[in-house]
């Protein structure tokens, strides 16, 4: 079963926006066992749209089109689809008109003709409600293949995809699919592959393994099972395989599915009824940002001192001025004192601290750009480690943040 | 002059990574006056690659291919291109081999055959050095059209594009193009368009205006001039138009070109020789993160207290416990005291503070999710303002951060 994604509109072609929609749609389709044959971005041009739909119907069973459904004259996707699928007339879809009316009322804008026309749909499509916007989605069928047209606004598209995925599963009578992902950090992909080779070779044929590496979240390992007759049995089977995998990878495994390094660390802290504080220099708030991106993080996160200047390190965190003088701000001594200092100042149980040269300037022969000291303070000890990362400021900030959270996580596990 | 971007590889098709490369390449090409006809993502499949190159050469003069240049057997782009362009043999590109050797040496990995083969290039291409990775880029010519193949690793691709853009300008003898962007914050796009309508209508035909809206950076207004015979005259002309525009938009304009809200605010602070501190609750470090993403921010940024828990607000920032009790942590009183508290504690001249309900939980009828109090403290006064943003945690964090920086920026301007 193949699909193709076609995005319509100039914003993507001129590079004004990054196309995050396609990745989301591809991922959702993959999760029900539908592969993506091709993704194509084109402008709001009738011939170009028709040519691409024609082509895509030759290679794929499912075509997802996003964009080009706005109220302005350059948005022509709906008209082109009406023509392509031979609509006899456009008719008002009352439930969509109700949504448009209530959205306009909330914004205190009178309903105009352009808004009203957004509820007009070709009579040959199945309308799909867009609960979050003015452009409804449309489902077309031709020769046992389908085309779905959706608006390009990401949160509108995502909500609609929630409804479209089960419709696709039902229409094509797709087999149940089950996925589970194990999250690892700290082992490079090539070494990880070597370590789990034997385990991987023993996997039965109906289970498929995918490596999903990402610099800020490590390597995710996803097991997928298609053709699942007995889902409960399958869940048990995958759990068993992951149990063996956990025995091989041990503490490199930090979570499952939608966990992230910060939430996994937070989970461990909560189990200990412990609170965390951070003291950040080179990461400049990125660690706190990663932690607080998780809802509920206030249960284990007290806060942070972003000590960008040395006097804050001294005044707020109790770092010894003489040590900054003697060893420099980027040193084992200073990072350790920052961690211990913020742990005490913020009345926390655990703390992490970073001090480094994010770049692009400030490097020396002895301490080049990318040098970072990371420290973890616990109720029992303080540990610190040096890393030499990259020449790029943004890469250094995000990698140092992930390494710091992982160091804390390993310490929380090891002390048990 | 048209171009097409083709990305090769499964990572994008399975939705594992968001394709940021295409947006970057499209933007860079647009800046030299090259429009993008189509963007296409396909898998590492010989026939599919050839079919798309054939098609793209029919509609475009420039084809940019990214990805599929790795050392493993699934990466076939180089072989397919060698075949397509009729290479007689592959030959070692010595400067690329030197780079590969030094990269391997730095990682302390012995050079193997797969690494060595990455320096082998078809004899019919012009090699382009990849200073940051093991896969060199390749420039092919056919019937006065070109194809450039680059690795898909974003920072490698970006550095190579720096070299490719002037090569393209020279090859196609492109006219000089000049762009300048004015950055605005705080006026929604539709209202902005209304305000500058008269100015826009008076623009001469050789100048093109683009609106580039973005939730975290406001609306950017870009003027582009193609066919520039006398570039200096043109620069002066665009400057004059922007001068008139500044008179209309006044303090909504925060910068030009590559500035951002944080760097623009930093610039104003530096002019006053003033230092900034931030106290963040609901934004959880995102403001500090935005500031410290800019190299050199230590010149005006002292640091931050991320006061996620109330006791930190009390202990570190001097917020009155009785006010938290009486008005709640999300209140004018608490936000104001946080701003003033961090200003004093971190010995700074200016401070911003945020306290709000980022969501998804924690909202009440009186203070729904998305309620944020933002305060600015200066040497002379404290101001605070309430906003009701959205239901989405990430949107609330990033919008509150941008609004806070903008409030400070306006205060820095107005007090002059």
CB proximity A288 to B under 8 Å: yes
Residue A416: per-residue pLDDT = 65
Which residues, at least 6 apart from B240, have a Cβ–Cβ distance to it below 8 Å? none
The gap between the terminal CA atoms of chain A, to the nearest Å, is 48
List all residues of chain A from 157 to 216 with a beta carbon under 8 Å from chain B.
210, 212, 214
Nearest to B244 by CA among B177, B178, B182, B190: B182
B402 C-beta neighbours (distance < 10 Å), count: 23
Q: Is A22's CB within 8 Å of B42's CB?
A: no
Measured between CA atoms, how close is B16 to chain A, in angstroms? 7
pLDDT at B261 over 90: yes
Q: Is A27's CB within 8 Å of B16's CB?
A: yes
Instruction: Fold for A261-414, please state it.
Output: Maf protein (3.90.950)
Residue A230: per-residue pLDDT = 78
β strands within B250-364, DSSP E: 253-256, 276-280, 301-307, 350-356
Chain B residues within 8 A of A301 when measuring between CB atoms: 308-309
d(CA B12, CA A119): 33
Chain B residues within 8 A of A155 when measuring between CB atoms: 392
CB proximity B1 to A under 8 Å: no
Residue B221: per-residue pLDDT = 92
Domain ranges of chain B: 2-171, 178-256, 261-414
Looking at the partner chain, which of B155, B285, B312 has a beta carbon nearest the beta carbon of A289? Answer: B285
Residue A57: per-residue pLDDT = 97
Nearest to A343 by CA among A296, A380, A311, A368: A380
Q: Is B25's CB within 8 Å of A40's CB?
A: no
Chain A residues within 8 A of B40 when measuring between CB atoms: 38-41
pLDDT at B86 over 80: yes
> Does the domain formed by A2-171 have CATH 2.60.40.1660?
no
Q: Is B316's CB within 8 Å of A345's CB?
A: yes
Peptide bond between residue B360 and the one before it cis (omega within 30 degrees of 0): yes
User: By three-state DSSP, how is residue A285 classified?
Assistant: coil
| Chain A: residue whose CA lies nearest to B6 | A40
Residue A175: per-residue pLDDT = 80
Instruction: Fold for B178-256, please state it.
Output: Alpha-Beta Plaits (3.30.70)
pLDDT at B416 over 70: no
Residues of chain A predicted below pLDDT 50:
none
The tokens 């296409």 sit on which residue?
B40
Looking at the partner chain, which of A36, A298, A301 has a beta carbon nearest the beta carbon of B13? Answer: A36
CB proximity B114 to A under 8 Å: no
Which residues, at least 6 apart from B219, have a Cβ–Cβ distance to it below 8 Å? B184, B185, B187, B188, B189, B192, B211, B212, B213
pLDDT tens-place string over residues B151-168: 998 889 999 999 999 999
Q: Is B288's CB within 8 Å of A284's CB?
A: yes
Q: Is A41's CB within 8 Å of B30's CB?
A: no
Looking at the partner chain, which of A275, A291, A308 has a beta carbon nearest the beta carbon of B292? Answer: A308
pLDDT tens-place string over residues B347-370: 999 999 999 999 999 999 999 999
Residue A228: per-residue pLDDT = 62
Q: Is A23's CB within 8 Å of B35's CB?
A: no
pLDDT tens-place string over residues B299-329: 999 999 999 999 999 999 999 999 999 999 9
Q: Is A12's CB within 8 Å of B19's CB?
A: no
Nearest to B152 by CA among B166, B169, B133, B129: B133
d(CA A49, CA B2): 18
Kindly state the tokens that stand for B402: 């941008």
- Cα torsion through A290, A291, A297, A300, rounded to 10: 180
Taking each helix axis from N to C end, the angle separating B310-317 and B332-345, rounded to the nearest 10 degrees, works out to: 40
The ipTM is 0.85
Taking each helix axis from N to C end, the angle separating A21-31 and A154-171, rounded to the nearest 10 degrees, works out to: 20
Chain A residues within 8 A of B311 when measuring between CB atoms: 302, 347
Residue B405: per-residue pLDDT = 98
β strands within B71-206, DSSP E: 90-92, 120-122, 126-128, 137-142, 145-150, 178-184
Chain B residues within 8 A of A293 when measuring between CB atoms: 284, 393-394, 397
d(CA B352, CA B304): 10
List all residues of chain A from 352 to 391 with a beta carbon under 8 Å from chain B.
358-361
d(CA A394, CA A401): 11
User: By three-state DSSP, how is residue A148 classified?
Assistant: strand
Q: How many CB pairs under 8 A join A and B?
A: 227
pLDDT at B225 over 80: yes
Across residues B36-41, what is the average pLDDT?
A: 96
The dihedral sign for the CA sequence B282, B284, B290, B294: positive
User: By three-state DSSP, how is residue B393 classified?
Assistant: helix
Chain B residues within 8 A of A26 when measuring between CB atoms: 12-15
């Amino acid at each position: 079963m193949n699909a193709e994604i076609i995005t319509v509109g100039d914003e993507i072609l001129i590079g004004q926006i990054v196309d995050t929609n396609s990745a989301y749609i591809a991922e959702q389709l993959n999760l029900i066992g539908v592969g993506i044959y091709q993704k194509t971005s084109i402008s709001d041009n009738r011939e170009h749209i028709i040519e691409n739909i024609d082509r895509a119907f030759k290679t794929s069973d499912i075509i997802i089109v996003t964009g080009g459904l706005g109220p302005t004259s350059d948005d022509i996707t709906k008209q082109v689809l009406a023509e392509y699928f031979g609509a006899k007339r456009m008719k008002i879809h009352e439930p969509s008109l109700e949504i448009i009316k209530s959205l306009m009322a909330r914004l205190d804008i009178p309903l105009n003709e352009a808004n009203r026309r957004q509820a007009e749909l070709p009579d040959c499509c199945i309308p799909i409600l867009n609960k979050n916007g003015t452009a409804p989605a449309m489902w077309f069928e031709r020769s046992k293949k389908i085309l779905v047209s959706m608006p390009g606004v990401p949160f509108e598209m995502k909500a609609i995809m929630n409804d479209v995925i089960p419709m696709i599963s039902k229409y094509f009578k797709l087999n149940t699919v089950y996925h589970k992902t194990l999250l690892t950090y700290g082992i490079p992909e090539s070494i990880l592959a070597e370590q789990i080779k034997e385990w991987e070779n023993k996997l039965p044929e109906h289970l498929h393994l995918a490596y999903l590496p990402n610099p800020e979240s490590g390597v995710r390992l996803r097991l997928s099972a298609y053709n699942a007759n007995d889902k409960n049995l399958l869940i048990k089977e995958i759990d068993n395989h992951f149990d063996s995998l956990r025995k091989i990878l041990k503490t490199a495994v930090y979570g499952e599915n939608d966990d992230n390094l910060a939430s996994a660390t937070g989970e461990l802290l909560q189990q200990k009824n412990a609170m965390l504080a951070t003291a950040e220099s080179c990461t400049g708030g990125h660690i706190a940002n990663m932690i607080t991106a998780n809802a509920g993080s206030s249960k284990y996160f007290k806060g942070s001192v972003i000590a960008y200047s040395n006097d804050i390190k001294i005044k707020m965190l109790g770092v010894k001025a003489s040590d900054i003088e003697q060893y420099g701000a980027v040193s084992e001594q200073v990072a350790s004192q920052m961690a211990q200092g913020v742990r005490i100042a913020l009345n926390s149980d655990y703390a992490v601290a970073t001090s480094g040269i994010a770049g692009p300037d400030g490097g020396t022969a002895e301490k080049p750009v990318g040098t970072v000291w990371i420290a973890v303070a616990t109720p029992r000890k303080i540990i610190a480690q040096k890393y030499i990362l990259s020449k790029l400021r943004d890469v250094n900030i995000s990698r140092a943040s992930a390494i710091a959270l992982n160091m804390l996580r390993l310490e929380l596990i090891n002390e048990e």
